[in-house]
Amino acid sequence: MTDLDARTSELDRGHVFHSWMMQSAQATAGLLPIAGGRGTQVWDHSGRTYLDFSSQLVNVNIGHQHPAVVAAIQEQAATLATIGPATANLTRGVAAQRIAARAPEGFNKVFFTNGGADAIENAIRMARLHTGRDKVVTTYRSYHGNTGAAIVATGDWRRVPNEYARGHVHVFGPYLYRSEFWATTPEEECERALRHLRRVIECEGPAGIAAILLETIPGTAGIMVPPPGYLPGVRAIADEFGIMLILDEVMAGFGRTGEWFALDAFDVRPDLITFAKGVNSGYVPVGGVVINDPIVRTFEDRVFPGGLTYSGHPLAAASVVASIDAMESEGIVANAKRIGAEAIGPGLAALAEQHPVVGEVRGTGVFWAMELVADRATREPLPAALMGTAKAEMLARGLLPFIADNRIHVVPPCTVTADEVAQALATYDEVLTLLDKEISQ
């Protein structure tokens, strides 16, 4: 460790209060110091490199330090570094135009936020005001952000100590590997999950439900691609009861699944779409809501009671325009789709055949998960201690992983090459071999 790495760790332990972490753990173990990055790699101050198969928080879709995006931010900073949202700004308008052009027909306006969580907050607010209803239905296996309504909409453990918002109802979504519905086929899982959703809505009172909020493909919860027919089935239920459908594309959008929006692969049209993360790879904080025309019309003669100081910030808007343009001109979304179908998917399937510790592999594009188990027959999740071992072993081999519960999420930038995938697969193979030995003892 160099002096700069040591200094970085010292300042971090002394002064930074980290999220989702016991501060004693930060002080004891320390966090990996990162000094720079380029493409799919990051490095510390000593120059040790890591292949980033986490994309940080699954957001660096275009890769680290893309020159066109960096240049756009620099140029905008030299022209106009900031301006309030109650103005018209060319860069902001172009960014909104670029995003709306990738949305389904009938989505022409974008409300900008600072990130994904407040995009969810404002989408919920829009749905409630548009319908005059209050309740929001979400799934238990989900993550929607860490602000008031977004964290309560979330289904995982992080919701429980933060339940201050009102009007939230949770259901089980489809997850065939650990089915809540005794299903044995995707068709059964789809049918029974939709039946469950319908019954909860009927019991809660459809006339009081403003929105169904779903991640198009749940990300942090496990990268669970919905079975065929599920999202159209949700849309049909929503239409039947006059409920708005919000699709959360914060993690799944802008190339991550090999599509511009993950919803493009499904026969479904929502009422509101939230985005953040991949729209500019997190270079500058930004998020937003793409709004369908009927909801926009609700506020033609009625004030929308929401706003943010940095809504449509010029630096963020410039990074959005440059990111979308680069993704299009360089075929980055198409690369994500191809690399998932030709390299990541087949490679992970081969690992699953070879290693008893792999219970299931699932995903699409550059959005995959390996679910690890202590016993394939019982599907008992691999213990946290062994997941910690897996993370340490991957870091020791120069691979920066994304670990969630008993899963390794395989989520490199959309720019990843076949050779880089092969390098990561070789590392996974070595680490899974170690884990196989542990569970066989």
CA distances to 106, 129, 230, 232, 244 from 297, rounded to whole Å, are 12, 12, 29, 25, 15
Domain spanning 34-65+331-440 has what CATH number? 3.90.1150.10
Output DSSP code: residue 74. Answer: H
Q: Are 51 and 398 within 8 A, CB to CB? A: yes
Residue 17 — pLDDT band, cuts 50, 70, 90?
Answer: confident
Q: For residue 388, which amino acid is it?
A: G
- In whole angstroms, give the CA distance from residue 121 to residue 119: 5
Q: Where are the domains of the chain?
A: 34-65+331-440, 67-329
- Return the pLDDT at 152: 85
pLDDT at residue 40 above 80? yes
pLDDT at residue 214 above 90? yes
**151-178: per-residue pLDDT in tens?**
889 888 888 888 888 899 999 999 999 9
**223-239: per-residue pLDDT in tens?**
999 999 999 999 999 99
Residue 1 — pLDDT band, cuts 50, 70, 90?
Answer: low
Q: Which residues contact 204 (CB under 8 A, 6 or more apart)?
A: 135, 137, 169
- Return the pLDDT at 19: 85
Residue-averaged pLDDT of the chain: 96
CA distances to 35, 80, 95, 288 from 65, rounded to whole Å, are 12, 21, 20, 23
**292-338: per-residue pLDDT in tens?**
999 999 999 999 999 999 999 999 999 999 999 999 999 999 999 99
Direct distance between the N- and C-terminal alpha carbons of the chain, in angstroms, rounded to an integer:
35
Residue 246 — pLDDT band, cuts 50, 70, 90?
Answer: very high
Which CATH number does the domain 67-329 belong to among 3.30.460.10, 3.30.465.10, 3.40.50.300, 3.40.640.10? 3.40.640.10
Residue 66's region, left for phi above 0, alpha for psi from -120 to 50, else beta, is beta
pLDDT at residue 28 above 70? no
Dihedral, CA atoms, 98, 103, 109, 114, nearest 10 degrees? -70
Give the mean model confidence (pLDDT) for residues 325-353: 98
